Structure 1
Amino acid sequence: MNKLIRTRFNCCTDINKIRERVRVKPEPVGLLSVIDPLIAAESLADTLMQIYLPNEFSLNFIKEMAGRASLHSSKLFTSEAGYVSQIYHPPEVEVSPVCLTGLAGVGKSQTIAALRKILPPPMDFTCDHYHGAVKLISHWYASARGKAGGKQLLTDFVLGSGEPSGRWNLSKLLVESRRRANRDGVSLVLLEETQHINTGLGASKVTDILLTMAAIGPPMIFVSNYSLVHKLLRRNSEDKQRLLSEPRIMLPDHPESQDWKDYVSECIRVSGGHIQVNIDDLAAELYRSTFGIKRLAVQILKLAYIECRNAGRESVKLADINRAYRSTAYSSNSKEVEELYLQALHPRTTGTHLDLRCPFDLPADKNSNVVKFARADRDHRVNATVFDSALRSNERAAMKHIDFIPGDASSPPKPARRSPVPRVSDEETAKTFHELIDSITPLPRPKKPK
């Protein structure tokens, strides 16, 4: 086989090259003070969402999956005779798919998008068996959202999206998919958004799709949240052994890791001066408010910017993040963050919120840093509460004026309680009832039909 085939994946397994090719550092936002606060906050959030700095897990995952694809490609193109043979007589090979799972918003889809950037682009391949060139494709990508089953996914690969399957049954589609995957040099199959599959048939539909895709032959990755994996764990052992034997768990960055600090520093840079907080303080406060989930970090910075504009300022301070955490728009997320901290401090294997609980057993060192951070944060807030309670009223007012309440120990103002409805006697109730009846104008009597 030619040299281009042998060197097809050479640039996909170097960590430094992967980092340079996949990271996204958008330009800082412009002047936002002249724009409506809500529109300006939306513009800031859109720019922050574009940030992608791959952490250590993402880099290693991309390198591993690219290496698997390279190994499969070398098996396909050992020789010209072997390549042609696998086109006309595709072997029946069923792989164990890799399950990429993690909390919602932790960055799984961004990692898959980065992996697709690394994989080689389509290239022309010529051999004596063909008249002309064949377009080689490094991977097949599909989204499971809204798919009726495995047959529909194979139909999209073989016949194209939107084409009717006609008289093709699942067996013929699977054979044709294997043949075309071998012909086009497909070395990786990616299936995303599996948790959004219509759950009309429960986990059986998801299992059917995953097993069908795994039967094509190339290495396969499917992306799922914890909620779907919990459902798959309740399947029979033959399904669990095939689908969940290769889990890759994407956890949030550790609060003291360099990856998290780099991400927070990039958020400050992209904000264009609209976030005026010390990086160490912001890193700690953001992690405390989001559990290291970057989708939530973008949302709370957006809400914090709205808070600062409502206060008549143009840049976010630490107190704005505290107020954003207690805002109505963030209330559903704050409850999930508190549940995640509760699970880290008091691990349980049963209970509610299975969508927030990792379905696999994790090594003790994976949670040690998070538990340490949660306990330190709890101690800090206790000390701040004690400090706040020791202040006099004039001292507390001065501290609030300069936004120097440690740990934001001050509780939010309680809404004014409505005065109770006064009790009335039976005579007053009867009198009011008769007055209401007398005030109602009687309706005219209906006319008799002619």
Structure 2
Amino acid sequence: MNKTIESRFDGYMDIESIRKRVILRPEPLTDLEALPPLIGAELLNERLREIYLPTEFALNFIHEMIGLAYLHNLKVFSSEAGYAARIFKPPEVEVLPVCFTGLAGVGKSQTIAALRSALPPPVELTCDLYQGTVELSSLWYASARGKASGKQLLVDFVQGSGHDVHGGTLKKLLVECRRLSNRDGVTQVVLDETQHINTGEGASKVTDILLTMAAIGPPVIFVSNYSLVHRLFRRNSEDKQRLLSEPRIMLPDDPKSQDWADYVNECVRVSGDRIKVGKDEFAAELYRSTFGIKRLAVQLIKLAYIECRAAGRRRIELEDLHKAYRSSTYTSNARDVEDLQLEAISKGSSKRLDLQCPFDLPVEYKSNVVNFARADRDQRVQARVFESSATEAERSILKHIVLPEEKAPAKSTRRVPVPKATDEDLMRSFRQYMESPPSGPKKPK
């Protein structure tokens, strides 16, 4: 149809190309100690929040969503006649929205921001249907925070395309949105933070807004925490079939995965190597204290740095992490982490729906997290029992005992091999044995 259209997605579909476009590695911090502790900690917090290393799941999700956008682009620009028909008489198409869900703070909004940067940028299109040029936009993005209805979201989309809105029914606004999305080549619609919609009468308002978004035409992604999805599961089957048939669940990283190790290593690098603990030990302790939720990881490192500066040091030690976990600032998050660990071990006995995934999870994810949580719990219980059973004198002695794993590994010495006996040696030993006096049997006791 047009060179601009034909080359629009060139170079944007390759997964390694996507990785390079979305990855964010901020510069490491220097001279933090020249600042007051609280200001230095806030600067560290801001820099750590800039990190974005796409996990395998996030990369595959972005790749899949760009694929859906590409397919919709082919439909819109199938031919000049087809493009004109979609503008002057936009078809009524209802899509099944993708439900992108996960725990609060797990990185959903960051992944959506990465998707926005990974899609093709705006381009100018010249066409015989109109004078001048039209800017093709790959994505319409809206935050549901503060929105009261689907009509308000449609008004925002129409106004964002450079049109004034003076009244109009929901039906007319929907037709105008369809026309503009086809004209501007919109290939994706994203509604973020849907849990902040004013629900009004239960989940009916949310359902109405999401179904309105799905009726525009392009593929739709709505981003939500678990709490809203649980409310949607209580809707009628016709609503659930439309809204919950395409879930994409973003889980915390596996505690032993390379993704988590890479993220912790990047935090250490960006902090300017201000973490004294060994990387493996620090990664394990950080996971125990955050359940792998990166928003909490950033906050905990910030609080640990404050504890570190209060102790007169410039590098974070394990003790600082423990104090930060027990601080009043982290109390509510610590309770969430403990509830998540209990939820993983007790297999869904918790009553907190905001921490329970409403969809069935892969068995391998459950087993990995449960094994980590159980092993950590057993280790802590054993240490607590051992410490509580010791006397005061024994505790003071234990402080000075070096554990075997803390000792420097000693060089192994090979035993000197026994020399091989000759025939003469064997004959001599046999004569000595025969000439020695026999020993009688031992008396029974």
TM over 0.5: yes
Aligned counterpart, 1:16: 16
Deviations 1:278-335 (A, max 9, x none): 1100110000000000000011111111111222211100111111111111111111
Q: CA deviation at 1:151?
A: 0.6
> Matches of 1:289 and 1:331 in 2, distance apart?
11
Kept after mapping to 2: 8 A contact 1:156/1:162: no
Secondary structure in 1 aligned to 2:11? helix
Aligned counterpart, 1:214: 214
> Matches of 2:337 and 2:165 in 1, distance apart?
46
Name whichever of 362-371 and 85-94 sits farther off: 362-371
Aligned counterpart, 2:272: 272
Aligned counterpart, 1:448: none
> Matches of 1:86 and 1:75 in 2, distance apart?
10
Kept after mapping to 2: 8 A contact 1:12/1:63: no
Q: CA deviation at 1:225?
A: 0.3
Kept after mapping to 1: 8 A contact 2:189/2:221: yes
Aligned counterpart, 1:287: 287
Which AA in structure 2 matches 1:4?
T
> Matches of 2:268 and 2:396 in 1, distance apart?
30
| 1:154-165 correspondence runs (5 A) | 154-160=154-160, 165=165
Aligned counterpart, 1:61: 61
Which AA in structure 2 matches 1:201?
E
Secondary structure in 2 aligned to 1:125? strand
Q: CA deviation at 1:50?
A: 0.8
Q: CA deviation at 1:277?
A: 1.2
Q: How well do the aligned residues superpose, as a CA RMSD in angstroms?
A: 2.1
Kept after mapping to 2: 8 A contact 1:319/1:403: no
Aligned counterpart, 1:72: 72
Q: TM-score, normalised by structure 1?
A: 0.86
Q: Mark the structure with the bigger radius of gyration.
A: 2
Distance 1:267 1:141, change over 3 A: same
Name whichever of 178-187 and 389-398 sits farther off: 389-398
Kept after mapping to 2: 8 A contact 1:226/1:358: yes
Aligned counterpart, 1:353: 352
Secondary structure in 2 aligned to 1:366? helix
Secondary structure in 2 aligned to 1:199? coil
Distance 1:402 1:51, change over 3 A: farther
Which AA in structure 2 matches 1:182?
N
> Matches of 1:296 and 1:110 in 2, distance apart?
14
Aligned counterpart, 2:45: 45
Q: TM-score, normalised by structure 2?
A: 0.87
> Matches of 1:44 and 1:396 in 2, distance apart?
38
Q: How many correspondences in the alignment?
A: 404
Aligned counterpart, 1:133: 133
Kept after mapping to 1: 8 A contact 2:342/2:350: no
Which AA in structure 1 matches 2:317?
K
Aligned counterpart, 2:422: none
Distance 1:285 1:127, change over 3 A: same
Distance 1:379 1:167, change over 3 A: closer
| 1:386-405 correspondence runs (5 A) | 386-389=385-388, 393=392, 396-397=395-396
> Matches of 1:339 and 1:319 in 2, distance apart?
23
Aligned counterpart, 1:314: 314
Name whichever of 128-137 and 139-148 sits farther off: 128-137
Aligned counterpart, 1:338: 338
Q: CA deviation at 1:128?
A: 2.2
| 1:421-440 correspondence runs (5 A) | none
Q: CA deviation at 1:385?
A: 2.7
Which AA in structure 1 matches 2:337?
V
Aligned counterpart, 2:108: 108
> Matches of 2:393 and 2:17 in 1, distance apart?
58
Distance 1:80 1:387, change over 3 A: same
Aligned counterpart, 1:365: 364
> Matches of 1:360 and 1:33 in 2, distance apart?
46
Distance 1:355 1:127, change over 3 A: same
Kept after mapping to 1: 8 A contact 2:76/2:82: yes
Kept after mapping to 2: 8 A contact 1:125/1:136: yes
Name whichever of 100-109 and 350-359 sits farther off: 350-359
Q: CA deviation at 1:337?
A: 0.5
Name whichever of 28-37 and 224-233 sits farther off: 28-37
Aligned counterpart, 1:2: 2
> Matches of 2:397 and 2:279 in 1, distance apart?
25
Q: CA deviation at 1:387?
A: 4.7
Kept after mapping to 1: 8 A contact 2:29/2:270: yes
Q: CA deviation at 1:15?
A: 1.6
Deviations 1:100-128 (A, max 9, x none): 00000000000000000011111111222
Distance 1:347 1:95, change over 3 A: same
Which AA in structure 1 matches 2:328?
T
Q: CA deviation at 1:390?
A: 6.4
> Matches of 1:391 and 1:303 in 2, distance apart?
32
Deviations 1:242-289 (A, max 9, x none): 111000000000000000000000010011122111110011000000
Q: CA deviation at 1:366?
A: 1.8
Q: CA deviation at 1:363?
A: 2.2
Secondary structure in 2 aligned to 1:124? strand
> Matches of 1:354 and 1:314 in 2, distance apart?
40
> Matches of 1:402 and 1:233 in 2, distance apart?
56
| 1:318-329 correspondence runs (5 A) | 318-329=318-329
Secondary structure in 2 aligned to 1:4? helix
Secondary structure in 1 aligned to 2:38? helix
Q: CA deviation at 1:229?
A: 0.4
Distance 1:402 1:319, change over 3 A: farther
Secondary structure in 2 aligned to 1:29? coil
Q: CA deviation at 1:155?
A: 0.8
Name whichever of 144-153 and 111-120 sits farther off: 144-153
Which AA in structure 2 matches 1:359?
P
Which AA in structure 1 matches 2:74?
S
Secondary structure in 2 aligned to 1:327? coil
> Matches of 1:403 and 1:56 in 2, distance apart?
41
Name whichever of 212-221 and 387-396 sits farther off: 387-396
Secondary structure in 2 aligned to 1:25? coil
Does 2:87 correspond to 1:87? yes
> Matches of 1:157 and 1:77 in 2, distance apart?
21
